[in-house]
Structure 1
């Protein structure tokens, strides 16, 4: 009996000791909040920037001291080598499990395929793949990711918050997670779409605490949707036509359209419900794409004196709104076809509906997509015009 107790006690101590083998004190680790990756063509090396949280600067009870984040950067022949080279500049072990944002340089996205950029993230169990990904547009990664935000102490939190905010209100952008980008890269019938971000109102104090104290400070702005072909960035989709991707993928939560009410003025309609259905058939070697959109909205601003107390006015605005949405989708698809990558996933949709036919075009779908013919049918219903129905007197 004594022998059994001894064995149990020995096992308990062994388990306790083994569970502490990877134990580290908090003052021995650095929490990486964001990562930036770019490519240096002249050196043929990757550049990795890690953004580390400064705990003393984000403390709320003891009073914050110093800048909220610290950036370290290094170069390497691979992303892994560059990340490990950063250890020369830091006294603590970097923890990557809390990375909230990955920023890719525009040079990297254009010159190197994304096919291998995310490979290191998928292979390493220490980092998640449900992280938002963006592209630093027009500026280098350092400037976009290390701008000290005026409202949010952590710039990564600020950028992610802006993506979520604009996707829910405007609908031109939608948060892209790393695993979604990887899934699109792995698919022969869809190319990834990744949001762009640019630094606006840049100054010498953009990366200092002084930036937080300005009324007109520098700030990161969500800027366009990156279109890819075979994993490489080939162009940008900007403005209302970028909504076409979100409409076809049924990702619109809420948006706003401007309706021309005369030659100079516009009225505004808020779209509160928008659902689309896409059907694809092959006729010869040409994809025939039919898109049907049903939408519900209400008038939220009037700059023309129309009387919304009359049914004829509502009918007129419904038709005008249908034309606006139809043109948005048609222009969006036309622009993407010029760039050559199927950002809408029409190939995936054909594969789901008719895998045998899609098999014939799988190896060259992007070129087949460029020859497609598209028809768009839109139905809009106005269910509210707000508190005021009759026009102003003048």
Structure 2
């Protein structure tokens, strides 16, 4: 009898599993031709209303409008949808009134935040993005000096089909310049949850760039020979990075220009590569390509008061010279290394002064103080933004020139 009971129990469990698997069906399926893939979103504040502008990928787009001679102008493969309401969730539901497909957010590449929204506070944006189960924390986030909607609507590109893909490409290659860094949502949460509660967001702006003239239809001239007629050059409003915004807690409080942004990046180890244009003889320049950069931020106590220290070590290669300086000589190399260190120090000092004026410790001094002197940090934590404004900081930069390219001596007229 016990064996029979075990057999019945086993059969019942097996039947239950079979029924569960067979009952699953496809009730929650998502057909790809019924989805609208979101590529980029822009968050703005206008008066008491929130504005959400979305860029959806148009998979059936031809990729451009045809012009004379069969040429095409760059045209984004996207549909722009913009709505306003009291909350971002209400806007998301309102989009369904005019969108013939279900919005799918898992492939969102980037979000833009307008200046007015940033000054009001990006807490709402971070909350909306983080609560949504489809949007990943790896989504990139940027700032605009104008309404983010304007940048999203007007941006064009001759290489990528959507602004989202354009920003993804910038994120991959912009650190080669040393002037740019694009964080993701998780980076911002990490920064704002730190000791100082500050962060830096890069600024995305529109930049007019020329587009080659279109070859017009052939015409007969003279004896009837065909001739191509070039049209007027076009102007594309492309997206580019230029500077950054300083945030205290979740609010925008100040701006960094391009040089100051790189000054901040030196200290926070965000520079993977960079180019320094340094003065040479007779109002000429030399170009040094930075191939390695390492920085360290520390805090010491002197006279009962904290003092900050920044140490930076860089290495570079000489890749261009407009003067006739012989860099096979040690004194020439030492002079160039001194100029390298001076320019980097100047950029760091400028960024540090701007951050001090705004009371935003984006250099990590608060965290360094907390780790080394926790008792002192507990005393200063509540007013650290004010303490940071008067924090003395010493900057030390060590620069090394490793190579001078394929030659050490420059070519000169008449030289053999």
Deviation sequence 1:273-324 (CA, Å, 0-9, x none)? 1111221124467531111111111111111211112111111111121111
Compare CA radii of gyration and give the structure with the larger one. Answer: 2
Gap change, CA 1:335 and 1:67, over 3 Å in 2 = closer
Counterpart in 2 of 1:102?
Answer: 111
Deviation sequence 1:304-359 (CA, Å, 0-9, x none)? 21111211111111112111111121111112212221122221222222222212
Counterpart in 2 of 1:179?
Answer: 186
CA distance in 1, matches of 2:372, 2:233: 55
Answering whether residue 33 of structure 2 is matched by residue 27 of structure 1, we say yes
What SS does the aligned partner of 1:143 have? helix
CA distance in 1, matches of 2:340, 2:346: 10
Deviation sequence 1:116-175 (CA, Å, 0-9, x none)? 32112222222211111001223x2223123232110121111221233221x1112212
Q: Does the 8 Å contact 2:108/2:164 carry over to 1? A: no
Q: 1:56 aligns with which of 49, 60, 81?
A: 60
CA distance in 2, matches of 1:16, 1:120: 37
The answer to which of 270-279 and 338-347 deviates more is: 338-347
State the number of aligned residues: 375
Q: 2:121 aligns with which of 92, 95, 113?
A: 113
Q: 1:36 aligns with which of 32, 42, 57?
A: 42
Please report how far the alpha carbon of residue 215 of structure 1 lies from its aligned counterpart in structure 2 after TM superposition: 5.7
Q: Does the 8 Å contact 2:197/2:248 carry over to 1? A: no
Alignment gaps of 5+ in structure 2 = 1-6, 64-74, 211-231
Q: 1:84 aligns with which of 93, 101, 106?
A: 93
Gap change, CA 1:142 and 1:5, over 3 Å in 2 = same
Alignment of 1:225-244 (within 5 A): 225-244=244-263
Q: Does the 8 Å contact 1:287/1:368 carry over to 2? A: no
Answering whether residue 199 of structure 2 is matched by residue 192 of structure 1, we say yes
Please report how far the alpha carbon of residue 216 of structure 1 lies from its aligned counterpart in structure 2 after TM superposition: 3.7
Q: TM-score, normalised by structure 1?
A: 0.88
Q: TM-score, normalised by structure 2?
A: 0.83
Q: Does the 8 Å contact 1:97/1:128 carry over to 2? A: yes
CA distance in 2, matches of 1:192, 1:94: 31
What SS does the aligned partner of 1:242 have? helix
What SS does the aligned partner of 1:133 have? strand
Counterpart in 2 of 1:350?
Answer: 369
What SS does the aligned partner of 1:117 have? helix
Counterpart in 1 of 2:339?
Answer: 320
Answering whether residue 361 of structure 2 is matched by residue 332 of structure 1, we say no
Q: 1:141 aligns with which of 148, 169, 172?
A: 148
Please report how far the alpha carbon of residue 69 of structure 1 lies from its aligned counterpart in structure 2 after TM superposition: 1.0
CA distance in 2, matches of 1:343, 1:122: 23
CA distance in 2, matches of 1:24, 1:277: 49
